[in-house]
Amino acid sequence: MKKSSLDDLSARVAKARKEMVPEEKRRLNESHAYGMAMRLVAELLSGLIVGLMIGWFLDKGLGTKPWLLIIFIFLGLAAGIVNVMRAAKQIEAAEMRKREQADKAEGNEG
Amino acid sequence: MEGPLAQFEIKTLIPINVGGHDISFTNSSLFMAIAVLGVMIFMVAGMRRGALVPGRWQLCVEMSYEFVANMLHDAAGREARKYFPFVFTLFMFILFANLLGMVPFFGFAFTSHIAVTFAMAAFVFVGVTLIGLAKHGFKFFKLFAPEGAPMALMPLLIVIEIVSYLTRPISLSVRLFANMVAGHTMLKVFGGFVVALGIFGIAPFAFIVALTGLELLVACLQAYVFAILTCLYLNDALNLH
The Cα–Cα gap between B212 and B30 comes to: 24
Give the pLDDT score at A6. Answer: 82
Residues of B in contact with A32 (CB under 8 A): none
**Residue extents of the structural domains in chain B:** 6-238
Measure A1 CA to nearest chain B CA, in Å.
Answer: 17
Query: Which candidate, A100, A110, A80, A90, places its Cα nearest to that of A36?
Result: A90
Interface confidence: ipTM more than 0.90: no
Of B160, B166, B221, the CB nearest to A82: B160
Q: Tell me how far apart the alpha carbons of residues B133 and B119 are, in angstroms, rounded to a whole number.
A: 21
Q: Are B215 and B190 in contact (CB under 8 A)?
A: no
SS (H, E, C) A16-79: HHHHHHHHHHHHHHHHHHHHHHHHHHHHHHHHHHHHHHHHHHHHHHHCCCCHHHHHHHHHHHHH
Whole-structure pTM value: 0.82
Q: Give residue limits of the domains in chain A.
A: 29-109
What are the pLDDT tens digits along chain B (241 aa)? 578 888 888 888 888 888 888 888 999 999 999 999 999 999 999 888 877 888 889 999 999 999 999 999 988 888 889 999 999 999 999 999 999 999 988 888 999 999 999 999 999 999 999 999 999 988 888 888 877 778 888 888 898 999 999 999 998 998 899 999 999 999 999 988 898 888 888 989 999 999 999 999 999 989 998 998 999 899 988 887 6
Beta carbons of A35 and B221 less than 8 Å apart: yes
For residues B174 and B114, the answer to whether their CB atoms sit within 8 Å is yes
What are the beta bridge partners of residue B26?
Answer: B12
Buried-exposed string B69-108: b where 16+ CB fall within 10 A, e elsewhere:
eebbeebbeeebeebbeebbebbbbbbbbbbbbbeeeeeb
The whole-angstrom distance between B28's CA and the closest CA on chain A is 24
Helix (H, G, I), strand (E, B) or coil at B25: strand
Question: One digit per residue, pLDDT tens: chain A, 110 residues?
Answer: 566 788 888 888 888 777 665 555 555 555 567 777 878 888 898 999 999 999 999 999 998 888 999 999 999 999 999 999 988 888 888 788 878 887 877 766 54
> Inter-chain contact B170–A72, Cβ cutoff 8 Å?
no
Q: How far is A76 from chain B (nearest CA, A)?
A: 6
Q: In angstroms, rounded to a whole number, what is the distance separating the alpha carbons of residues A79 and B162? A: 8
Peptide bond into A22 cis (omega under 30): no
B194 interfacial to chain A (CB closer than 8 Å):
no
Does the beta carbon of A77 lie under 8 angstroms from any beta carbon of chain B?
A: no
In Å, how far is A61's CA from the nearest CA of chain B?
18
Mutate to test the interface with A, among B164, B174, B224, B235 (most CBs of A within 10 A): B164
